[in-house]
Structure 1
Amino acid sequence: MSHARNAILARLRDAKPEAKVMETITYQPWISQDQQLLTERFIASLSASHAEVISTDVAALSSTIEKIVVTKALKQIALGSSGEFHEQIVQATALLKTHFFDKDIKDWKSALFNDIDAGITHCQAGIADTGTLVLWPDIAEPRTLSLIPPCHIALIKKSTIVSNFAELMIEQAWQNNMPTNIVLVSGPSKTADIQQTLAYGAHGPSQLIVILIENM
């Protein structure tokens, strides 16, 4: 055993490492400065991943959420404790049984996993290239809101959509303000682990509804 080990170590010591030739990167991220093209690609990519995208403006935001509540027959909903459109969200869900994420999860864990129909969150940005929502969870809107309820309703401003992920990091200067937690969402939760059959909702929401606020 000792002889074999010494032989292996000797070969390693005698080996002359060769510099690896740098590989040519062939992938180039999709880029556009045209806001209409950005929006169209963003919507098309999300739709291809079985997300529902509904366009509205800020004046009609509450009524848009109300229509979703009726269409999806939602009865109990989980919300954060603040956010840019928090007032409109609260107004639109006033007739539902609302659970605000302002208490320890241990105090309402059973309701969260068994009774909540949907969670509503704001989005930090959108990536047109891949149809991705960018969420920055915090104490006001924990990531649980987007991961546990069977339906995730996400609000995003059209003005926050960028071409690709690299552009997003540069535009928002992540090197100076790196998020401690980030969630990237490109559609409902899905898996094909079992018999290669695609199934939705195995590891998260089975429905993703994106409300695109056009005039913001």
Structure 2
Amino acid sequence: MSARDIILNHLRTRTDGAIPVPESDFSVMTGRGWDHDERLARFEQLITSVHAEVVHAQRSSWTQALAAILHDKGIKRLALGHEHPVACEARAGLAEAGVELVDPAREIERWQREQFERVDAGLTSTGGAIAETGSLWLWPTPDEPRRLSLVPSIHIAVLDSEAIDETFFDVIEAHGWARAMPTNALLVSGPSKTADIEQTLAYGVHGPKELVVIVRHGAD
């Protein structure tokens, strides 16, 4: 009998009941006590410290802010979904903006070169943000695949101001990740960045060179 079999046999023949699960104290990971304004301020301070750009807009007019961003950055081809409310509103708001709207819901082999060579920017919704680290969290879907935020040189993310949690632990708890863990959640904390052996930081080497976050305020 191998050592593995011996250990498993001991576990199967226990007579003193189930192995108890030790209590865990997660208090250090939550309970920061920040109000809405503090969470927003901390998120913006941290994400802009790593070269991201934050643009504030009212929920009723955020697509106008989006159109201005596209104009200022010379974006002519924007990849975005069809089904998410953010994508639907963006498509309606950009109907007369002179921007080509690219559909990402295609087989990757059919437009692999196009997305790398001809798409100027990708637009995505966000699940929310984390004030403690200045991070966005995204939950990709077939309508908004992960390549929208990872391939184009500019990533434009839309965030509702009330969707900023204090810590990553709070995100996991509030959205029930333990019950239904997302298969491909993304944490975004600024443009793509990397460093060489001399610790020289470079942006955009393996992904977007720019990250623009449109923070929406106000009611629907």
* TM-score calculated relative to the size of structure 2: 0.82
Q: Name the aligned partner's letter for residue 106 of structure 1.
A: E
1:123 aligns to 2:126 (yes or no):
yes
Q: Runs of 5+ in structure 1 lacking a partner?
A: 1-24
Task: Give deviations 1:111-164, integer Å, cap 9, x for gaps.
Answer: 100011100000001000000000000111000000000000000111110000
Does the Cα contact within 8 Å between 1:53 and 1:212 map onto a contact in 2?
yes
Q: Name the aligned partner's letter for residue 188 of structure 2.
A: V
Does the Cα contact within 8 Å between 2:50 and 2:191 map onto a contact in 1?
yes
Q: Tell me the residue number matched to 2:174.
A: 171
Cα shift at 1:110: 1.2
Please tell me whether Structure 1 or Structure 2 has the larger radius of gyration of its CA atoms. Answer: 1
Cα shift at 1:91: 2.6
Distance 1:93 1:108, change over 3 A: farther
Of 184, 207, 210, which residue of structure 1 is paired with 2:210? 207
Q: Name the aligned partner's letter for residue 173 of structure 1.
A: G
* TM-score calculated relative to the size of structure 1: 0.84
Tell me the distance in 1 between the aligned counterparts of 2:125 and 2:86.
8
1:147 aligns to 2:150 (yes or no):
yes
How many residue pairs were aligned? 193
Q: Tell me the residue number matched to 2:46.
A: 45
Q: Name the aligned partner's letter for residue 212 of structure 1.
A: V
Partner SS for 2:85 = coil
Cα shift at 1:80: 1.5
Partner SS for 1:108 = helix
Distance 1:208 1:93, change over 3 A: same
Cα shift at 1:30: 7.2
Partner SS for 1:85 = helix
Of 91, 99, 107, which residue of structure 1 is paired with 2:102? 99
Cα shift at 1:93: 3.4
Alignment map for 1:69-88 (pairs within 5 Å):
69-88=70-89
Tell me the distance in 2 between the aligned counterparts of 1:71 and 1:194.
35
Alignment map for 1:8-47 (pairs within 5 Å):
31-47=32-48
Cα shift at 1:28: 5.5
Does the Cα contact within 8 Å between 1:125 and 1:162 map onto a contact in 2?
yes
Task: Give deviations 1:42-67, integer Å, cap 9, x for gaps.
Answer: 11011111100011111111101000
Cα shift at 1:87: 2.2
Cα shift at 1:77: 1.2
Of 161, 164, 178, which residue of structure 2 is paired with 1:161? 164
Identical-pair percentage: 36
Cα shift at 1:175: 1.6
Does the Cα contact within 8 Å between 2:30 and 2:170 map onto a contact in 1?
no
Q: Name the aligned partner's letter for residue 77 of structure 1.
A: L
Does the Cα contact within 8 Å between 2:82 and 2:88 map onto a contact in 1?
no
Cα shift at 1:33: 3.8
Tell me the distance in 1 between the aligned counterparts of 2:70 and 2:92.
12
